[in-house]
Amino acid sequence: MRGRINAQSRLFAYVDLEERIPKTHPLRRIKALADTSLTSMDAILTSLYSPMGRESIPPEQLLKASLLQIIYGIRSERQLVEQIEYSMLYRWFLDIGLDDEMWVPTVYSHNRDRLLTTPVARQFLSGIVEQARQRGFVSSEHFSVDGTLLQAWASIKSYEAIPADTKDNADPPADPPKVDPVPKGKDVIKDFRGQKFSNDTHRSKTDPDARLARKSDNTTAKPSYLGNALMENRSGLVVHGEVRRACADGGEIGAALAMIDREEGDHQITLAADKGYDAKDFVEQLAEMATTPHVAQNKNAYRRSAVPDEIAATPEYAISIRCRKRIEQVFGWVKLAGCLRQVKIRGKAAVDALFLLALSAYNLVRMNNLMGQKA
C-alpha cells in the first residue's frame, strides 16, 4: 500500500538525542575521549575567564565545535554554526539541546579566539595522548619526526620592504598592522622586478609572521608556516606538535630537538626521520639526549652520512625507516580532511594552536579505529 504525506505537522514532538545517534557511530568514542581530556583541563579553562560578568559560551563546546570543523572539513565558522543549528548529531556531540538557541557566528569566533592559544591546545593534545598510553596504544621508546609547509593566509601582494636593520628573528608586533584600503573594483599588482625579494628584505603587512618558503626548487615560494610533528611508531599517533616560522627559528631540526626534549624520561629512545635530518650537529645532539638516530642516510660518492653504519645495519633501524613514512599520513589528513593546506587565520600563535587541535582531531579519529579493532 502506498504511503501518503501528512502535511499537518505535530503539535508536540519528544526527541531524545541519545537514542537518535546510532550506537556504532564513530563520534561516540571520539566524544568520550574529548570529554575526558576536557575534564582534566577544567582549571586552565577557568583561569581564562573572569569570575564576574555575563556567562560566555562554555569553553568545552567551543573546543569540541573546533574539532567538528576539522574532522568534517567545514570551511568556515559561519557554515559550522549553520550546520550545528539543524544537525541533531552535532548538537548531541556538543551537549546542546534541540530547543537551545544557536550561537551567532561572530560571537562564536570571538569566544573561540580566546581559547585559540598554544597552552590550551597543547594541554588538550596531552590529555588525548595520555588516554592512548593508558590503553597501550603509545610506547615511550620509538618515534618519528617530520615537518610540512602550511600556506599562510597572506599573498605576495601584501608584501612590502622592511628596514635593512630588521632581524629575521625579531619579535613581531602584537597586532598585525592595518592594511591600506584598496579602491573598489581594482586589484593592485606589485612589481618586484629588479629588487632583492627575500625574507630579509620584505615582510607581509597582513601576516608578519609568515615567511616565504617552497617545497622544492621547481615550485613557487609562498608565504608559509612550518608545521612539525613527533609521531609514535607503534600506532601512528602524534605525541607532540609545533609550528615555527618557515626558514627561521631553527627550522625542522630545531623543532625536532624541542619536541624530543618535551618527551619525559631519561631512557634510551629512537628517532626516525628522512634524509633532510642527516646532519652532523643534529646527530650529535641526539646522542647527548639519549636518542638513537634512526635517520635515513643521505650519502653518495661525494658525501658521507652522519648516521653511523653500525646503527644503519641493525634490524631496529630498518623497522624505524619503514614506520616513519606513516607520518606523511598525518600531514595528508591534516591538510586534506582538516582543511589546513592553507590556514584561514593569521599569526604564529594562532596557527600553532590550530595545528595542535588538528593533530588532536587526527589522534581521536585514529584512536577510534584502533579501539574498534581491539574490540
Please write the tens of the pLDDT for every residue from 259-283.
998 886 778 899 999 998 999 999 9
For the segment 29-51, the average pLDDT, to the nearest whole number, is 92
CA pair distance 71, 207, nearest whole angstrom? 26
Residues with Cβ < 8 Å from 37, sequence gap 6 or more? 124, 127, 128, 131, 360
In whole angstroms, how far apart are CA 242 and each of 121, 148, 216, 279?
A: 11, 11, 22, 21
pLDDT of residue 1: 79
Residues with Cβ < 8 Å from 253, sequence gap 6 or more? 277, 279, 281, 282
Q: What class is the 120-155+212-356 domain?
A: alpha beta
**pTM of the predicted model, to two decimals?**
0.88
pLDDT of residue 210: 92
CB 235 within 8 A of CB 141: no
Whether 234 shows a pLDDT value over 60: the answer reads yes
CA pair distance 245, 254, nearest whole angstrom? 11
Pure H helices in 189-278? 251-262
E strand segments, 103-184: 142-151, 159-161
Return the higher-pLDDT residue of 28 and 8.
Answer: 28
Please write the tens of the pLDDT for every residue from 303-329.
888 899 999 999 999 999 999 999 999
CA pair distance 35, 30, nearest whole angstrom? 9
pLDDT of residue 156: 85
Q: Which of 16-25, 84-93, 158-167 has the highest mean pLDDT?
A: 84-93
Q: Where are the domains of the chain?
A: 17-115, 120-155+212-356
CA pair distance 48, 63, nearest whole angstrom? 14
